[in-house]
A and B are shown apart, each in its own frame.
Chain A
Amino acid sequence: EVQLVESGGGLVQPGGSLRLSCAASGFTFSSYEMNWVRQAPGKGLEWVSYISSSGSTIYYADSVKGRFTISRDNAKNSLYLQMNSLRAEDTAVYYCARDGTSHYYPWAFDIWGQGTMVTVSS
């Protein structure tokens, strides 16, 4: 079964850091681009970051650029999001989402994890 499982969410104070992980299974992780997408409570979806299959190409939303770092370990079938200088407005459910660009679904998110909640509050 194709699956993405996020972990690492929790409560953190403003200005703090958190590292999210996403474990992939059921598909060849190393051949897929990946993304992080977040959703603030009661709000819509917001794309956060993209990483190519090799990790050589990375993009960020302006709202997180300079504070968040996306990375991957293809040997461990894992995607990461290092979040620094966290703000209250970063409070959201964070989803990892597989990018279908190289496999049938150009620039679409074809598989999603169940999400992990990040709360930034003092």
Chain B
Amino acid sequence: QSALTQPASVSGSPGQSITISCTGTSSDVGGYNYVSWYQQHPGKAPKLMIYEVSNRPSGVSNRFSGSKSGNTASLTISGLQAEDEADYYCSSYTSSSRKVFGGGTKLTVL
């Protein structure tokens, strides 16, 4: 199972919006609405930010939103804040009943 494809880095200024893409295949991202997104600060464990493509767990800011089109899922962060600077990973359920992560995207808030 190959890793999902994410851009290595993205950046934005405070208050702006950014979007991180996550591209897979019809056997994972495109085949199921089970894409989730995780935020990881340096030295910390990942935190669930989005599940089932576009749903936010309780306590996650509504500045975070998710979507999917075909084999590509996206995470959008609006109103960028300094504390959003972190690594972001997508994950998907796969046709072999396993899970796969993206390679990760480093978000820099300028």
Contact = CB atoms under 8 A, between A and B. Distances in A.
Nearest to A45: B101
B21 to A, nearest CB: 15
Interface in B82-100: 87, 89, 91-93, 96-100
A61 B48 CA distance: 21
Contact of A109 (B1, B38, B87, B92): B38
Interface residues of B, number: 28
A112 B45 contact: yes
A46 B101 contact: yes
Contacts of A112: 45-47
Interface in A70-107: 95, 97, 100, 105-107
A41 B34 CA distance: 27
A72 B58 CA distance: 28
B45 A47 contact: no
Nearest to B101: A45
A35 B99 contact: yes
Given A109-B46, A110-B48, A114-B45, A45 B89 contact: yes
Interface of A: 35, 37, 44-47, 50, 59, 61-62, 95, 97, 100, 105-110, 112-115
